[in-house]
């Protein structure tokens, strides 16, 4: 069953828990105020809080974390600023961390190759309207070698964002620190997916700080940043459609559309299902690869995209 995503943004609220139910009331001193919503904690996969006057009971946060939910806190710019994740209750968590540390360089480099190839192929599917750029990206994907030493990821990104820009936003530049609306929508969507991936990693007993390619010592989510790469085109496509339809700021409709990506139907290993559910199979396949039981990551792709076959090319 897909977990629910709850967002608090339209009005100040107080969150508490009673008998395993997250109770959401309008923020007031009146304890008898009517409930705005009541949701079983065990049904919640992610809570996104984007209202500065929201308050919580300690019990509410503790119950959500114990139920396996991720809590995403947004800042004044409405972008996620931090998150709370549960400690893994996976009974093999120490073994999984040992597997991450002990993974050989050839295995790590092959995993990064797969992630880059999947990302570039996803980008190509996103700009299907530009046949020339799409062919260029698919050619780049074929040239990715183990560890991507020639940085085809960056070469492909230049082609991709140029085509993305030419379609509807001639003045757009992909700059994560920019305050323009399109970059803001992209950042919001990426942050939501990053939190969902981190949640799935913790559930699998993996340590999100131990990355495959990303290795910033101040980043506690390097592995999430690795695994999110093939998923970014999902956000890109959604933001592109929102922008074409006239959305130029992070409002309720935009946030809802981006949060709904977690319920997007994707294909993984020739089966379809919601992205949030597929993330657990994605991270489980990473465990198998790290343990040497499997060589190919199971990476979620759009239902219209072809699955990438295993490659023995360097």
Picking from 84, 112, 146, the residue at the C-terminal end of a domain is 84
* 225 and 120 assigned to the same domain: yes
* 21 and 154 assigned to the same domain: no
* 34 and 119 assigned to the same domain: no
* Of 96-105, 194-203, 303-312, the least confident: 303-312
* 41 and 104 assigned to the same domain: no
* 271 and 196 assigned to the same domain: yes
Residue 310 lies in a domain: no
- Mean pLDDT, residues 261-280 taken together: 94
* 14 and 152 assigned to the same domain: no
* 206 and 293 assigned to the same domain: yes
Residue 153 lies in a domain: yes
Of the candidates 41, 82, 56, the residue with the CA atom closest to the CA atom of residue 198: 82
Give the domain range for residue 18.
Answer: 4-84
Per the structure, the count of domains in the chain is 2
3-class secondary structure, 25: strand
- Mean pLDDT, residues 185-204 taken together: 93
* 225 and 102 assigned to the same domain: yes
Looking at residue 166, its pLDDT comes to 74
Whether 125 and 233 have beta carbons less than 8 Å apart is answered as yes
In CATH, what number is assigned to the domain containing residue 146? 1.20.120.920
Say what percent of the chain tops pLDDT 90. Answer: 66
Residue 253: count of CB within 10 angstroms of its CB: 12
Looking at residue 176, its pLDDT comes to 78
In CATH, what number is assigned to the domain containing residue 19? 3.100.10.20
Picking from 28, 59, 84, the residue at the C-terminal end of a domain is 84
Residue 308 lies in a domain: no
Looking at residue 167, its pLDDT comes to 63
Residue 168: count of CB within 10 angstroms of its CB: 12
Residue 75 lies in a domain: yes
Whether 189 and 181 have beta carbons less than 8 Å apart is answered as no
Residue 215 lies in a domain: yes
Looking at residue 168, its pLDDT comes to 63
311 burial (CB, 10 Å; 0-12 / 13-18 / 19+) is middle
Looking at residue 311, its pLDDT comes to 46
* 100 and 63 assigned to the same domain: no
User: Residue 113: which residues within 8 A CB-CB, separation 6 or more?
Assistant: 144, 145, 146, 147, 148
* 287 and 165 assigned to the same domain: yes
Residue 311 lies in a domain: no
Looking at residue 207, its pLDDT comes to 92
Looking at residue 142, its pLDDT comes to 97
Picking from 36, 63, 84, the residue at the C-terminal end of a domain is 84
Give the pLDDT band (50/70/90) at residue 27: confident
Residue 286 host element (H or E)? helix 275-290
Looking at residue 310, its pLDDT comes to 43
- Mean pLDDT, residues 121-144 taken together: 94
Averaged pLDDT score across all residues of the chain: 89
**pLDDT higher than 70, residue 12:** yes
- Mean pLDDT, residues 239-262 taken together: 91
* 285 and 202 assigned to the same domain: yes
Ramachandran angles phi, psi of 36, nearest 5°: -85, -30
Bigger pLDDT: 310 vs 30: 30
First to last CA, the chain: 39
| Measured CA angle at 221 (ends 275, 15), to 5 deg | 70
Of the candidates 82, 7, 52, 76, the residue with the CA atom closest to the CA atom of residue 252: 7
Residue 309 lies in a domain: no
Looking at residue 312, its pLDDT comes to 44
**pLDDT higher than 50, residue 189:** yes
Residue 178 lies in a domain: yes
* 78 and 126 assigned to the same domain: no
Looking at residue 86, its pLDDT comes to 84
């Amino acid at each position: 069953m897909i977990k629910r995503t709850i967002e608090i943004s339209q009005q100040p609220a107080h969150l508490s828990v009673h008998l395993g139910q997250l109770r959401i009331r309008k923020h007031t001193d009146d304890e008898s105020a009517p409930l705005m919503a009541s949701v079983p904690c065990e049904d919640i996969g992610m809570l996104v809080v984007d209202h500065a006057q929201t308050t919580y009971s300690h019990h509410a946060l503790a119950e959500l974390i114990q139920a396996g939910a991720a809590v995403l806190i947004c800042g004044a710019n409405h972008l996620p600023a931090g998150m709370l994740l549960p400690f893994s209750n996976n009974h093999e968590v120490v073994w999984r961390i040992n597997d991450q540390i002990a993974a050989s360089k050839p295995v790590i480099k092959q995993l990064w190759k797969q992630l880059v190839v999947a990302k570039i192929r996803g980008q190509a599917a996103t700009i299907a309207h530009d046949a020339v750029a799409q062919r260029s990206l698919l050619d780049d994907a074929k040239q990715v070698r183990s560890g991507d030493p020639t940085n085809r990821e960056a070469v492909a990104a230049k082609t991709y964002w140029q085509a993305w820009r030419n379609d509807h936003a001639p003045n757009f530049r992909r700059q994560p620190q920019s305050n323009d609306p399109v970059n803001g929508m992209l950042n919001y969507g990426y942050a939501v997916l990053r939190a969902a991936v981190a949640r799935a990693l913790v559930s699998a007993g993996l340590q999100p700080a131990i990355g495959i390619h990303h290795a910033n010592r101040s980043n506690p989510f390097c592995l999430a940043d690795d695994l999110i790469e093939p998923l970014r085109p999902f956000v890109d496509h959604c933001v592109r459609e929102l922008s074409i339809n006239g959305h130029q700021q992070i409002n309720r409709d935009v946030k809802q559309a981006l949060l709904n990506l977690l319920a997007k139907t994707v294909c993984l290993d020739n089966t379809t299902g919601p992205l949030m559910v597929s993330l657990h199979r994605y991270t489980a396949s990473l465990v198998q690869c790290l343990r040497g039981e499997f060589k190919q990551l199971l990476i979620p792709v759009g239902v219209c995209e072809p699955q990438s076959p295993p490659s023995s090319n360097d």
